[in-house]
Amino acid sequence: MLLQLREDIRSGSAEEYIHRLFERIERSRLNAFTTLAKESALEAAREFDARPWKGALAGIPIAIKDNICTKGIETTCSSRILKGFIPPYDAHVIERLRAEGAIIIGKTNMDEFAMGTSTETSCFGPTRNPWDLERVPGGSSGGSAAAVAAGEAPCALGSDTGGSVRCPASFCGTVGLKPTYGLVSRYGLIAYANSLEQIGPITKTVEDAALLLDVIAGHDPRDSTSVASEKNYLSSIGGEIRGTRIGVPEEYFGEGVDPGVERAVWDAVSVLEDLGASWRKISLPHTKYALPAYYIIAMSEASSNLARFDGLRYGLRVGEDRDWHTTFSEIRAVGFGRETKRRILLGTYALSAGYYGRYYLKALKVRTLIRRDFEHALKEVDIIASPTMPFPAFRIGERITDPISLYMSDVFTVPINLAGIPAISVPCGFSDGLPVGLQLMARPFDEALLLRVASAYEQSTPYHLRSPEVV
C-alpha cells in the first residue's frame, strides 16, 4: 500500500493528501494523537510538490509514538512530567525516515512511559479502539495502531518492551513488527527498560512493515547494542514458504485463551499448511515463569531510568524551590501517574539491599532459561506460531484497577522480549466482531523469513483488507 501511495502522491499532490489526513484526525473521537505537527508537515508537503524528493518514503506521512525524540516537536511520553519538552535532536530512526523523504505528521498517544497494555495511563486520556469506541486499542503503542487502523496515518512507529507494538496491532487489526534486539538503534528512544525495548513499525500490510524496516534498521555508533544490517527485507517477501517448519507451543493455548482467538489461530496454521508448510506441536517449558521475570526486570530498569526526571533539568516545575528532597518529591508527585509510581516503587524494592539476589538476580536466571527454550525450539522448527493476545480488546476501565489482571494480558508477548528474538502480529480473523492477531516468531536476525511467511499468510486471507467503519 505504501508503494502505491508513494506513486499516487508523486503524480498528485502531497499537500492535498496531508490536508485530508488532518481533516480526518481533527474530527476523530479516537484521541490517537498527543501532538500534531500540522504546519511543518504541510510546509514539507508543499516543498515536495514543488520539487519531488527521492527516497524510499518520499512524500509519505508517518505518525510517531510520543516516546521517540523528534527535533522541534514536543515529546512527552504521555506524562505530565515531560510536558513542554521539545527535543533539540532527532532519534536515529527519525533521521533515517527524514533522509528517505517521510513527512512526520504528529506524535501518538501511549501509556505513560510505555507502561501499560491499554493506552489508559496516558495523561492525555485514553485512546479508543476504532473497531469499538468503548474498548481499548491495546498498549502501549495504542495511539499508533489506532491511527493506522482508522486511516489517520498510513503508517506509524511504536516501541515494544513487552509486546507494545504487537498487542495494539492485534487489538486494532493492523500489522506490528518487533525486530530482533539490536537491529534498530534505540538512540533517541526515551528509555523505559533498555534491555527489552525495540522500536518497530505498525502498518496495514506486511509489505509496508518490510519497507519501513529497510529504512530504520542498521548500525548506529551512538547505540552500543545496535548491529549492521545489509538485508533488503522488502525483496524477501513474496517467495514460496513450501517446506517451512512451523512450531505451535502447547503452553500458548488452553485456559485463559478466548475460544474465538484459539479458533482463528488454528485456522491460520491450516492456511500455512495449505501453502506448503508443515507444523508440529512444541514445548516452551519455562513460559509460565516469563511474566513475573519480565515485570521484575522491566520495573527494576524503569526505577533506574526514570530517576533522571526530577524537573530540574527539563520538563515540569511546580511551586517554589526548597531543599532538593522536598522539591524532587513535589515535582514527581504531580508529574508521574499512578501506574508509573507503582512500577518505580516495585523496581526500587527489587533492587534494594537484601532483595537483589532474591528477585532481580533470579529473574535474570529465568530469562536465560526462556532464551534457551527458544534456541532449542528454533533448531527443530523455522517459525513459531501462537496467538498474539489471549483475548480480543477489552472495555475501557475493565482492567485498569486490577494491575495483575492487566499484566496477565502480556503472557504471550513478553517471552519474545526476554529472548530478544523477532516477532510479528498479523490479522488472522475476528472474535465477536473484534480483530484477532496471529503472532509469528523467528530466529534472531531472521526477519527475512519471518516477513516472507507473514506475507504469504496475509496474501492468502482477506483480514488485512477490512477497516473499521467508525470515526
**Of 354 and 92, the one with more pLDDT:** 92
Question: What is the model's pLDDT at position 155?
Answer: 98
DSSP state of 319: S
Q: Look at residue 471 and tell me whether its pLDDT is greater than 70.
A: no
Reported as a pLDDT band with limits 50, 70 and 90, residue 202 is very high
Reported as a pLDDT band with limits 50, 70 and 90, residue 229 is confident
Q: Look at residue 179 and tell me whether its pLDDT is greater than 90.
A: yes
Cell numbers for 384: 513459531
pLDDT tens, residue by residue, 124-157: 999 999 999 999 999 999 999 999 999 999 999 9
pLDDT tens, residue by residue, 4-48: 999 999 999 999 999 999 999 999 999 999 999 999 999 999 999
Once rounded to an integer, what is the mean pLDDT over residues 420-439?
97
Q: Look at residue 410 and tell me whether its pLDDT is greater than 70.
A: yes
Q: Look at residue 286 and tell me whether its pLDDT is greater than 80.
A: yes
Q: Look at residue 458 and tell me whether its pLDDT is greater than 90.
A: yes
Q: Which of the residues 65, 107, 178, 231 is marked catalytic?
A: 65
Question: What is the model's pLDDT at position 399?
Answer: 84
Q: Look at residue 174 and tell me whether its pLDDT is greater than 60.
A: yes
Rounded distance between C-alpha atoms, residue 288 and residue 294, angstroms = 11
Beta-strand relationship, 155-160 and 61-65: parallel
Active site (annotated) includes residue 122:
no
| Pair 318, 330: CB distance under 8 Å | yes
Question: What is the model's pLDDT at position 470?
Answer: 66
Q: Which of the residues 164, 170, 185, 226 is marked catalytic?
A: 164
Active site (annotated) includes residue 352:
no
Lowest mean pLDDT among 22-31, 100-109, 407-416: 407-416
Q: Which of the residues 78, 118, 140, 300 is marked catalytic?
A: 140
pLDDT tens, residue by residue, 291-330: 999 999 999 999 999 988 887 777 788 877 788 888 888 8
Helix (H, G, I), strand (E, B) or coil at 232: coil
Of 69, 64, 65, whose CA–CA distance to 112 is shortest?
65
Q: Look at residue 255 and tell me whether its pLDDT is greater than 70.
A: yes
**Of 314 and 277, the one with more pLDDT:** 277
| Pair 59, 25: CB distance under 8 Å | no
Question: What is the model's pLDDT at position 324?
Answer: 80
Question: What is the model's pLDDT at position 312?
Answer: 78
Q: Look at residue 445 and tell me whether its pLDDT is greater than 70.
A: yes
Rounded distance between C-alpha atoms, residue 396 and residue 400, angstroms = 8
Reported as a pLDDT band with limits 50, 70 and 90, residue 288 is very high
Question: What is the model's pLDDT at position 403?
Answer: 78
Burial of 10 (0-12, 13-18, 19+ CB in 10 A): middle
| Dihedral (Cα; 326, 329, 330, 335), 10-degree rounding | 160
Residue 259, C-beta contacts closer than 8 angstroms, at least 6 positions apart? 431
What's the Cα-to-Cα distance from 228 to each of 158, 216, 220, 233, 240, rounded to whole Å?
21, 11, 8, 14, 27
Which residue do the cell numbers 486494532 mark?
172
Once rounded to an integer, what is the mean pLDDT over residues 357-364?
94
Of 185, 187, 190, whose CA–CA distance to 215 is shortest?
185
Rounded distance between C-alpha atoms, residue 73 and residue 66, angstroms = 10
Provide the mean pLDDT of the chain: 95
Indicate if the alpha-carbon torsion angle 27, 392, 164, 135 is positive or negative.
positive
Rounded distance between C-alpha atoms, residue 457 and residue 426, angstroms = 9
Question: What is the model's pLDDT at position 409?
Answer: 85
Once rounded to an integer, what is the mean pLDDT over residues 85-93?
96
Helix (H, G, I), strand (E, B) or coil at 338: helix
- For residue 293, the tally of other CB atoms under 10 A from its CB is 24
Active site (annotated) includes residue 300:
no
Q: What is the pTM of this model?
A: 0.96
| Pair 3, 211: CB distance under 8 Å | yes
Lowest mean pLDDT among 36-40, 312-316, 343-347, 454-458: 312-316
Phi, psi of 157 (to 5 degrees): -110, 145
Reported as a pLDDT band with limits 50, 70 and 90, residue 401 is confident
Helix (H, G, I), strand (E, B) or coil at 402: coil
| Pair 233, 208: CB distance under 8 Å | no
